Structure 1
Amino acid sequence: MAQISKRSARNVETPAQPGRFDVAALRDAVGEKAFARGCAYHAEGRVEIITISDTRVVARVVGTEIYRCELTGRGNDLSFACSCRAFADWGSCKHLIAVALTVNSLDPDALELASNRLGKIREHLRGKGVEQLVEMILKLAERDTALFEELNLSAALDTADDATVLAQFKKAVTDAIRVRGYIEYGDMRDWAQGIEGVLDRISVLLESGRAALVLLVLDHFFSQMDDALGKVDDSDGGGGACYARAAGIHLAACERVKPDPIDLARILFAREVNSPWEFFFGSSETYADVLGEVGLAEYRRLATEAWQKVKSRQRRRTEVPPGGEYALRAMMERFAERDNDVDAIIAIRANDLSSAYRYLEVAQACLDNGREQEALKWAEEGLWKFEDEPDKGLVLFACDLLQHSGRNEDANALLWKLFGKEPSVDLYQRLKSAAGDRKAQIRVRDDAIAMLSARAEKSGSQAEWDVFGAPDVLVHVLMAEGLLADAWAAVDKHGCREIAIEELAKASEVNLPAEASKAYAKLVERKVRMGGQGNYDAAYAMIKRMRRLDGAAQHSAYLADLMTRHKAKRNFIKLLTSKQAT
């Protein structure tokens, strides 16, 4: 590991002091914990400035590994990047703080030295002869696999024929994408970076005038990636981003080569339907200019032929996998839209009416094309067919159309039925809005509260509630109506989730401060017992709110008792002490 030299903590730039970077803004961006660790890294001299200009800083930061950190801009108008895992996960890290503090602390001499560092290296290299430079680069390539691959492919571009270049690029693709076993989330960044490096070289190949060769390389790339993405944890989307970038390069190559439109249509159709991923979804639109009328006609022919087999459910006679039906249906809709054929769009969507949502899709197509009564007919048919398992979206869609048609009673009946099955505050507000005058709204309020109270009674003990949280909805409805005392009574009787109790406490601080303080105390107790910094921070936030509700003497006594009972929770006690909660 690189040598670390200690630096006096007095050199740490505080947010109030002037400097190139607005450290207060960076502090807000990374949070207190990362900011404190960044200050420590700066004080320990872990930052080495590689290059600095008026608008850009590049540095190395010594941590568990050596990380590359880059800040662009000034003040609080910044963009930044770091090679560490924290930045990849959260978009910020302690290393950024360390670099910003180091730059802000540079005196004129140190600033000039940092500014000239790359310039001196550049002048040094210019003084070397070609042979010396070649030897230096080759020695570096022997130690750096990525550099070796870069130079090897670059040399092939200059000297090798297409067959040799293709073989080398396919090998590079295979080596970069290869998955041995399974790649966990923590290792994905390195895997994706390796693939990005290969895509950089493929882009160079494209710019060198070998677009036809790029298409062959990418054929191999896509087949490898289709398999590999099923063996990795791509939660952060790094692998998908590589695939999407490759698809963009493929389109650019097609625009240059102008491949046979019929062959291209067949290739794209197969990828759109058969790939387990959706990176070629909508290719008939994306590649429309390259395909031309001839290619689009072939695309339509292939889609229509496959669709006829899907319609008749002759799965054994078609190569379209079950997951490809969605892509195929979307293709057919796009072609129908090109023809402005509304009947065809509706027929395509109506081919599958296996769920309430499918009915909603058909009804939406009717409404989008000005067929309101037809849309209502489809919606009501879907509601009837799936009466025991209503789709909320379909119900609300039908209610809008019924109200627009003057059938308010039917719309209200649907809303009440849905509210009985899936109660929510949003539905309650909708019922009130549809009620009209104040007297009718009061009836809605009373009926809803009665229904929710009965539902909450069936939820069992205070530790239980049904899947739609009737006690929670009841409490929120009472809060919305300003019935805070009734809401606390509902909490005592039925219980509800902590988040609802905290919201009720905040709403009660003015009119029912004693209830709010009592609730906060219970929540603080739960969170401290659970432990963990997140729970401690949440507990402290509620203690601060309690301080405004309790008298000074009462609050001091509460804190003293709390700290005595939880003295073993050292991090919590440290937090209370550091924040001067007393």
Structure 2
Amino acid sequence: MNGLTEAKLRSLAGARSFERGRDYTDAVSGVEFDEDRITAFVHGTERYEVELVLGGTRGPVGECDCPYGQEGNFCKHLVALGLAVLARKADVPRLRKEARDRKRGLDGWLSGLTREDLLTLVREEMAEAPGLRRRLELRAASARGDLAGIRSRVRELLDIGPFARYGYVEYADAHAYAGQAGQAVSAIRSLTASGRAADAIVLTREAIESLIRVVENVDDSDGSLESVGADLADAHHDACRAAAPDPDELAHWLVSHTLRDACELTDIDPLDYADLLGEPGMAALRRYAVEAWQANRTGWAEKYLMERLAKSGRDIDTVIAVHAADLAPNGHSHLLIARELDTAGRTAEALEWAERGVRETEDPATVDTALVDHLAECYTRTGRLADAVTLRRDHFAARRSLLTYQQLRAAAQAADRWPAERETALTLLRADGDRVLIDILLDDKDIDAAWQAATACGAHDGQWLTLADHSRPARPADALAVYLRLAARLAPQTGNATYEALVSLLLNIRDCHHHLGTPDDFTTYITTLRATHKRKRNLMRLMDDHGL
């Protein structure tokens, strides 16, 4: 059966869902076979509809409308159906043939009915199935051009009332609501297909408004409602393509919608309408965008729209004006402008903006580090090595860290000015008494100075460990003192991660005793440690593994 086996079901579902699915095999009902499709109901906390598709090169795939299945998982209900089918494996060929025969029989019977009999049948089915009745009502309203009727029905389909408990659609009901909302999209598309695209534009926009009003009251964790929004966006674009609305009116709506807080629900991009707007419409689009931006120059949506429109028209000066109207206090906006100008080949202006960004940052400690990097790279590229050193020195003075020190060192070495710069930098750090001095001296491989700084300023355990690791061959006694202190803190603790860290220290302690020529002292230390912590079996085992 195209790869349907217990092993395959376990692989698809995972061991936990597979075992839970075994308990649901008796809850499977209404199994129906098609060529490569098997559907059924599985009764759990609710009745779930499940479907297995057996065709395909990768074996069976499935869908279930339970919450776990809606997230794309092969759930326990699908396992239950698969196991139920496997239990009837010998009957499957016969059941498929019977399904084909039933389908042919139904088609033949329907074809033989008179018009009156078909109408009677459809009316009877509509009375039994309200969902079918509503779908056919929409089709009928579309066929006769009943815009008011379609509008009313679309509003009903987008109403969260029937799904909302206490005014909110919870996760368990969101998928069903999104499915109903999807019917509204289909109804709108039918208008476009029947030559009423202008009406479809109106209804699409009304539907988008309705969806925006309710989206905050729906738990759309699985993105079902977002998919409906995307479908509405596509329906709007298709209707506009068919109806060719007034370019100015379309441009105004696109800008207004794009600047709304909930515009991400549809993710409509005004530039996707460029061919429909034409030159007059694009001009109107830019005009409305500029008006909106001038009214709110610091608005993120307004700035983003202006920037995109300017870039699409290769209007670099407008891009700069947008950023310049709302300069960030840390120089980030200056960096964006400098990059745009560099891309446009206007390097002198780019450099001026970058320098201005550094200069105008009120607190040098908060300057955008990417701006400093950009400007330093510009200086280096143009041979202004002294300026690069000055920039890096000022940045280090404002923000004293290992990274800014390393950047200063690289710039100063390139300018052949490192010894003097290093002494100035270390003088600042010693005056601060900051532990970053230890990291910097370690990075410089100045181990003796790092020991002095750690002794004078104090160091955290990680720094002491690094110092000991670097110093073990040359200063084994100092390193040993560090390792013993750290090991004494770890020894009372438990846990495999602690044991691994302790064993690493013990190996270093042994190495120190080797350098000092005191192996007997180490033997005594280890013997005492083992006696004290012999109940920690994992620690003892790990020590055995390392010959301790």
Short-chain TM bin? 0.5 to 0.7
Deviation of 1:135 after TM superposition, in Å, equals: 4.4
AA matched with 1:35:
F
Task: Name whichever of 229-238 and 128-137 sits farther off.
Answer: 128-137
> Which residue is 2:519 aligned to?
none
Supply the distance in 1 between the matched residues of 2:33 and 2:105 (Cα, whole angstroms): 15
Question: Sequence identity of aligned pairs in percent?
Answer: 27
> Which residue is 2:527 aligned to?
none
AA matched with 1:444:
D
| CA deviation profile, 1:208-232 (whole Å, cap 9, x unmatched) | 3322221121121122122212333
Supply the distance in 1 between the matched residues of 2:206 and 2:76 (Cα, whole angstroms): 40
Query: Structure 1 184/175 Cα, relative in aligned 2: closer, same or farther at 3 Å?
Result: closer
Supply the distance in 1 between the matched residues of 2:465 and 2:181 (Cα, whole angstroms): 50
Deviation of 1:133 after TM superposition, in Å, equals: 5.2
1:347 counterpart = 2:321 = yes
Supply the distance in 2 between the matched residues of 1:77 and 1:284 (Cα, whole angstroms): 42
Task: Name whichever of 153-162 and 348-357 sits farther off.
Answer: 153-162
1:32 counterpart = 2:15 = yes
Q: Is the 8 A contact 2:487 2:506 kept in 1?
A: no
Deviation of 1:146 after TM superposition, in Å, equals: 2.5
Supply the distance in 2 between the matched residues of 1:502 and 1:367 (Cα, whole angstroms): 54
Query: Structure 1 282/124 Cα, relative in aligned 2: closer, same or farther at 3 Å?
Result: closer
1:98 counterpart = 2:88 = no
Tell me the TM-score normalised to structure 1 length: 0.64
Task: Name whichever of 204-213 and 139-148 sits farther off.
Answer: 139-148
The partner residue of 2:211 within 204, 225, 240 is 225
| CA deviation profile, 1:307-345 (whole Å, cap 9, x unmatched) | 33435xxxxxxxxxx7xx333223322333244232332
Query: Structure 1 242/19 Cα, relative in aligned 2: closer, same or farther at 3 Å?
Result: closer
> Which residue is 1:69 aligned to?
50
The partner residue of 1:152 within 134, 137, 142 is 137
| CA deviation profile, 1:52-79 (whole Å, cap 9, x unmatched) | 434x443433322222233444464554
| CA deviation profile, 1:521-568 (whole Å, cap 9, x unmatched) | xxxxxxxxxxxxxxxxxxxxxx9x99995779xxxxxxxxxxxxxxxx
Deviation of 1:352 after TM superposition, in Å, equals: 0.8
Deviation of 1:252 after TM superposition, in Å, equals: 0.6
| CA deviation profile, 1:270-325 (whole Å, cap 9, x unmatched) | 212235323566743111111111111111222223333435xxxxxxxxxx7xx3
Q: Which runs of 5+ in 2 are unaligned?
A: 415-421, 423-439, 473-478, 509-535
Query: Structure 1 275/445 Cα, relative in aligned 2: closer, same or farther at 3 Å?
Result: same
Supply the distance in 2 between the matched residues of 1:476 and 1:32 (Cα, whole angstroms): 44
Q: Which runs of 5+ in 1 are unaligned?
A: 1-17, 312-321, 460-469, 496-500, 516-542, 553-582
AA matched with 2:142:
L
The partner residue of 1:270 within 251, 256, 272 is 256
* Structure 2 residue matching 1:58: 3-state secondary structure: strand
| CA deviation profile, 1:183-232 (whole Å, cap 9, x unmatched) | 33343222222212222232233323322221121121122122212333
Deviation of 1:254 after TM superposition, in Å, equals: 0.4
Task: Name whichever of 154-163 and 396-405 sits farther off.
Answer: 396-405
Supply the distance in 2 between the matched residues of 1:546 and 1:28 (Cα, whole angstroms): 37
Query: Structure 1 108/29 Cα, relative in aligned 2: closer, same or farther at 3 Å?
Result: closer
Q: Is the 8 A contact 1:284 1:296 kept in 2?
A: no
AA matched with 1:334:
R
Deviation of 1:235 after TM superposition, in Å, equals: 3.5
The partner residue of 1:192 within 172, 178, 196 is 178
Q: Is the 8 A contact 1:177 1:195 kept in 2?
A: no
1:249 counterpart = 2:235 = yes
Q: Is the 8 A contact 2:351 2:378 kept in 1?
A: yes
| CA deviation profile, 1:66-125 (whole Å, cap 9, x unmatched) | 222334444645543221101223533222333334444442323421453364155246
Query: Structure 1 32/340 Cα, relative in aligned 2: closer, same or farther at 3 Å?
Result: same
AA matched with 1:365:
E
> Which residue is 1:260 aligned to?
246
Supply the distance in 1 between the matched residues of 2:182 and 2:305 (Cα, whole angstroms): 31
Deviation of 1:38 after TM superposition, in Å, equals: 2.1
Deviation of 1:382 after TM superposition, in Å, equals: 3.7
| CA deviation profile, 1:401-425 (whole Å, cap 9, x unmatched) | 555456564676588679857x89x
> Which residue is 1:444 aligned to?
443
Supply the distance in 1 between the matched residues of 2:458 and 2:102 (Cα, whole angstroms): 79
Query: Structure 1 429/187 Cα, relative in aligned 2: closer, same or farther at 3 Å?
Result: farther
> Which residue is 1:127 aligned to?
109
1:334 counterpart = 2:317 = no
The partner residue of 2:71 within 80, 89, 100 is 89
Kindly name which structure, 1 or 2, has the bigger radius of gyration based on alpha carbons.
2
- How many residues align structurally? 469
| CA deviation profile, 1:348-383 (whole Å, cap 9, x unmatched) | 212111343433332332333344564455445445
Q: Is the 8 A contact 1:22 1:76 kept in 2?
A: no
* Structure 1 residue matching 2:320: 3-state secondary structure: helix
Supply the distance in 2 between the matched residues of 1:505 and 1:182 (Cα, whole angstroms): 51
Supply the distance in 2 between the matched residues of 1:25 and 1:409 (Cα, whole angstroms): 64
Tell me the TM-score normalised to structure 2 length: 0.68
